[in-house]
Structure 1
C-alpha cells in the first residue's frame, strides 16, 4: 500500500531553498526589507539568510550582540555563560537569520554599496517541540540604538507571519525570568507562559527558583495565552496546510527504523514504567515519549536527575550517535551534539604507558577508532530536557503481576503505579532484577579506583608526555576552574588510580567514605613510589578536589535469557555489568534502549505482547551484546595487567598483535560508512568512505573555512 502520510509543514519549509523560502513564507504584498528609525530617520535593510551562508565575521557580530545583552543573565543562571556552546548553537544548519543592517557609511568613508554592519538580528527554526510543529525563536537581539524603536515588534511580526504560512501550531521562545524588560516586551505583544515551561529549580533548602520561562503565542486568530518558554498561537487551517503544495519529503523518522508510522488512534494505548533515570533509561524514555500510543512514567530514586560521574565523559560509537540523531527530537539531539568531542584525524586510539612513563603500545583498532568522546554532562542535560515523565525522589521497592497481566509497582513513599511493561534500568544493584532473577549474584572484587579531574592546561598537557589534544577546538584549554572544582564544559584530563582495597594506605574507613583530601593523598602516595615517573605525581597535585569519584568494582553474574514474564524486562547494567576497561558501558546501554524501543513500538509487539516469548529476541540480543563486551574487556585486562613478572610482560608484548586482533574480532557493531585501514599502529581513512550526516554537521569550523577561508577579517 502506498504511503499516504502527509509530510510535515516544518520539513517542507526546511527542505526549501533560501529563495523559495523567502518567496513562500515572507510577505509579498507589503515591503519587509527596509526599516526607518522613527526618531533618527536612519534607514536599515532587512534580509533573510541561512546560518550556513553567514560569514565568520557576520556570525561574530551576531554573537557579540548576544554577549552584550544576555551574558549577564546566563552568568547568573545555573547553566552559566558558555560562549563555545552558544557559538555552536548559532551555527545549527536549519537556523534562519533575519539580519538588520545599517545603510549609513562609517565616518570618513564613502558609500561603497557593500552590505552595512549588522545592528540587529532574529534567528528561528521550524521544528518539533513537545510533539507539536512550532517555529522556535532562538535569539532576538538589537543594538542599543535600535531598542524601543518598534524594530523588535516588526521582526517578531515577520517571524509570526512565517509561522502562519508554514502552518505550525505556535511560535515559541525562552526568556530568563530576571530579564523583566524582555518579559514585558513579549507579554505586551501577546505571548504567554507555555504549559511545558521548565519547572522551577529546587535548592537544597527547599526554595524554588525559576530561572527561565518558555513563552508561546498560538497562531489561531488573535487570541492570547493566559500568561512564560513563550509561545504565540498561530492560525492553522486545513487550507493553509494544503496550500504548501504537493511537495514530498522523507518522514522525520529514520526510514530504516522499525518504529511504525501510526497515529494514536491506530493502536491500543500502552503504559510503560521505567525504573531508573540513568543514560539507558532516559534514552528509552525519550524515544518512547515521541512514539504514538504510549504512556510513560520514569521513576528515579534520587531527588536530582544526576550522578556522581556526570562531569566525566563516555565513549560512544559513530553507529550509536547516528542512531541517536535519528531517534531523538531535533532539539534534544542539538543539545547532546554540543558535548561530542572532536575526533582526531584517523580516529580515536588508546595509548598505554608503564609506570616509568615509557610508552608500551598504541591500540587503534576499528572499534576504537570509531569511538567519540561525549560529555556525560551534556548527554544527561539533553536527555532530561522536557522530561516531564520523570518522577524523582521515589525509590522502587517491588512489583506484582496482576491477574489481568498488568504489573503493579510499589514505591518507598507508599504509592503504586500500574503498567503493561515494567523496565528495570536501575543499575548494577537493580531491585527489579533481584525479584525477576533472584538467583543472580553480585560480587565485590576488592578493587577500588579513585578518579579525579585535572584542568587541561598547557602545563598539564606537557606533563602527559605524549602528543595530546583537546576535544574542544573552540576552547582547547581549561579556564573556569579552582583548586576544588571545574566547570562541566571545561577541558580536563581524567586521572584514575586503581588498586586492591587491601593496599590502601589509609584504612580508617571504607574508600568511598574518605574525604577528598584523603583520596588525593592516596593518589599522591601511589604516584610517589619507586619506578613511577615524577610527572604523574605532578599531575596528581593538580587535581580539583571536589571532582573525586570512588568506584568500588563489583561484578554481577552473567545471566541467561529469561522468559518468566513478557511484561517485565531489564536494560543496561541491570542485566549485568561489565568492566569499564573499554568504556563501553554507556554505549551498550543506549543500544539496549534502542533495541527495546524498536521492539515495543513495532506492530508485531502489539499483537504478541501477552505471549510469554514477546520480548525473547530483545533479551537474547541484550545478553549476547553484554557477554561479548565483557569478554573483550576481560581479555584487555589480562593484557594490561600481566603483573610485575618480567617473563609474563615479555610474553604479553610479543603476543599483543594476535591478542588485539582476537579482541577486535569479537566486536559486533557496524562502524558506519568509514573504512578504517591500519598497519603497525598507523591509521588511515579510505577516501571513498562517506562520513555520516551528523559528523558533517559537527564540523562547523571546517565547513566555514571551506566556504569563507579566503575572506579577510
Structure 2
C-alpha cells in the first residue's frame, strides 16, 4: 500500500511516522520550499491525546528527546486586568506538557528523509479507474497512490475538491502572535498554566515555554542524528483586538507601534513584552473555525485530517492535539489494511466517522471558550 500525504505539518508528519512503523510506503508532499522557510507558530499544549498519539507514532528512540525538549504546563489559570490585578481564577490544570511547534516539527522530520518532498503543493487530485488516486502538484507533476490524505491545513486544496461546500468562518477582530525571551521578570507573569489579561481595548493571552533542556543540546546527547534548532525559553503572548489591523503586508516595527498604542496605560511589564518581542517569531494571526460537516458519500481513496477538516480557534488548546489524534487513529486504521485484516474503503470510512465526531466536538468546545479570551467589542 502506498499513501500520499498533502502537507508536512504536525499531523501529516506524525501520520508518516505511524505508517512507516507499519511498513507502509508513505510520501509527504509539502508546499513550502524547505523545513525552515516559514514561521511555524508558538508554544502549544500537548494533552493526553496529543502525547499518546506522538508516542504511538514516533520511533521509541525519540521519546526521551520529546520529553527533554518539552516543558512544564500545570497550575492555576489566572484572569487579570491591564494593571495585573487579579479578576478571577479559571481553575487549576495539572496535565499535559508544553512544546514549541517549530521544535516539534523538526523532531517529526527526523528519520523521514526523502519521504518528505518540499516545494510540491498538492493542488488537486484525480481518482483513477484502477482504484488508485493521483495527486497533482503545482509544478504540473503528479504522484499515484492507494490513498491521498489531505493534511494541508485550513486552506486545504484537497478539502476544496472533496468537500466544496465545507465552510471556514473567520472570527471578527484580529490578533497578533508574539514571543519574548523568558526572563525572571516575564516568568512571573505566568506562575501557573497560563494568564489571561483583559485590559482597555484588548485582551492578552500569556503562556510560558520553558524547555526542560535546550533543544539543540538535548538532541546532541539523546539522538545525535537529529538536528534541532537553538531555540531558547520564551513567553508566548497573543494580543486579541476587537477591530482589524491595517490591511496589507507591514513591517513588524509598524505593527509593534500599533500594539504599543493599544497598550498605552497598561502595566509596564505587559508593555515590555511587546517592546522586546522576537521580530522573526511575531506576526498577525487570523482566528478561524470550520463549520461541522456530515460524513460524505463517495470517495474512499481521499480523506482529511487536522485543520484541513476541523480547524478551530486556539482558545481550547486542542487544534494540534486533535490533528495528532487524527494521525494516530488513521495510522492504526491503515496498519490493519497493511496487515490484511481490513479493507481500505471500510477502514477509511471508520476513521472518518470517529474523526468527525471528536474533531467537531473539539471545535464546539473551543468556540464555547473563545469569549473568555476575547475583548469586548
Band of TM-score, shorter chain = 0.7 to 0.9
The reply to whether residue 453 of structure 1 matches residue 179 of structure 2 is yes
Q: What's the offset of the Cα at 1:328?
A: 1.6
The reply to whether residue 588 of structure 1 matches residue 327 of structure 2 is no
The reply to whether residue 546 of structure 1 matches residue 280 of structure 2 is yes
Q: What's the offset of the Cα at 1:412?
A: 1.4
Q: What's the offset of the Cα at 1:466?
A: 5.2
Q: What's the offset of the Cα at 1:371?
A: 1.9
Aligned to 1:491: 233
Structure 1 CA distance for aligned equivalents of residues 55 and 211 of structure 2: 20
Structure 1 CA distance for aligned equivalents of residues 49 and 260 of structure 2: 39
Aligned length: 348
Selected match of 1:384 from 104, 109, 121: 109
Q: What's the offset of the Cα at 1:451?
A: 1.5
Q: What's the offset of the Cα at 1:448?
A: 1.9
Q: What's the offset of the Cα at 1:565?
A: 1.1
Q: In structure 2, the residue corresponding to 1:352 is in which secondary structure?
A: strand
Structure 2 CA distance for aligned equivalents of residues 441 and 579 of structure 1: 15
1:300–1:474 CA distance, 2 compared to 1 (3 A): closer
* 1:566/1:609 contact within 8 Å kept: no
How does the TM-score come out when normalised to structure 2?
Answer: 0.84
Aligned to 1:369: 94
1:342–1:395 CA distance, 2 compared to 1 (3 A): same
Aligned to 2:131: 405
Q: In structure 2, the residue corresponding to 1:569 is in which secondary structure?
A: strand
Give RMSD over aligned pairs: 2.5
Q: In structure 1, the residue corresponding to 2:82 is in which secondary structure?
A: coil
Aligned to 2:260: 524
Q: In structure 2, the residue corresponding to 1:289 is in which secondary structure?
A: helix
Q: Deviations over 1:377-405 (max 9, x none)?
A: 32111111122211110111111111111
Q: What's the offset of the Cα at 1:577?
A: 0.6
Selected match of 1:286 from 17, 24, 42: 17
1:421–1:524 CA distance, 2 compared to 1 (3 A): same
Matches within 5 A, 1:204-603: 270-292=1-23, 294-306=24-36, 308-310=38-40, 312-343=42-73, 347-364=74-91, 368-388=93-113, 389-462=115-188, 464=189, 471-472=210-211, 488-502=230-244, 504=245, 507=246, 509-510=247-248, 513-529=249-265, 532-603=266-337
Structure 1 CA distance for aligned equivalents of residues 26 and 355 of structure 2: 22
Structure 1 CA distance for aligned equivalents of residues 278 and 353 of structure 2: 43
Aligned to 1:623: 356
Q: Deviations over 1:261-313 (max 9, x none)?
A: xxxxxxxxx01000000000000001111212x21111001111247453622
Q: What's the offset of the Cα at 1:375?
A: 2.1
* 1:600/1:606 contact within 8 Å kept: no
Structure 2 CA distance for aligned equivalents of residues 528 and 547 of structure 1: 23
Any stretches of 5+ residues in structure 1 without a counterpart? 1-269, 476-486, 645-713
1:618–1:610 CA distance, 2 compared to 1 (3 A): closer
1:457–1:610 CA distance, 2 compared to 1 (3 A): closer
Q: Deviations over 1:106-163 (max 9, x none)?
A: xxxxxxxxxxxxxxxxxxxxxxxxxxxxxxxxxxxxxxxxxxxxxxxxxxxxxxxxxx
1:323–1:573 CA distance, 2 compared to 1 (3 A): closer
Any stretches of 5+ residues in structure 2 without a counterpart? 194-207, 215-228
Q: What's the offset of the Cα at 1:323?
A: 4.1
1:465–1:408 CA distance, 2 compared to 1 (3 A): closer
Q: What's the offset of the Cα at 1:353?
A: 1.6
Q: In structure 1, the residue corresponding to 2:357 is in which secondary structure?
A: helix
Q: In structure 1, the residue corresponding to 2:323 is in which secondary structure?
A: helix
Q: In structure 2, the residue corresponding to 1:400 is in which secondary structure?
A: strand
* 1:527/1:534 contact within 8 Å kept: no
* 2:305/2:323 contact within 8 Å kept: yes
Matches within 5 A, 1:659-670: none
Q: In structure 1, the residue corresponding to 2:28 is in which secondary structure?
A: strand
Q: What's the offset of the Cα at 1:605?
A: 8.3
1:608–1:497 CA distance, 2 compared to 1 (3 A): same
Q: What's the offset of the Cα at 1:360?
A: 2.5
* 1:348/1:372 contact within 8 Å kept: no
Q: In structure 1, the residue corresponding to 2:358 is in which secondary structure?
A: helix
Structure 1 CA distance for aligned equivalents of residues 213 and 344 of structure 2: 52
Q: In structure 2, the residue corresponding to 1:303 is in which secondary structure?
A: coil
Q: Deviations over 1:665-704 (max 9, x none)?
A: xxxxxxxxxxxxxxxxxxxxxxxxxxxxxxxxxxxxxxxx
1:557–1:488 CA distance, 2 compared to 1 (3 A): farther
Structure 1 CA distance for aligned equivalents of residues 103 and 43 of structure 2: 9
How does the TM-score come out when normalised to structure 1?
Answer: 0.46
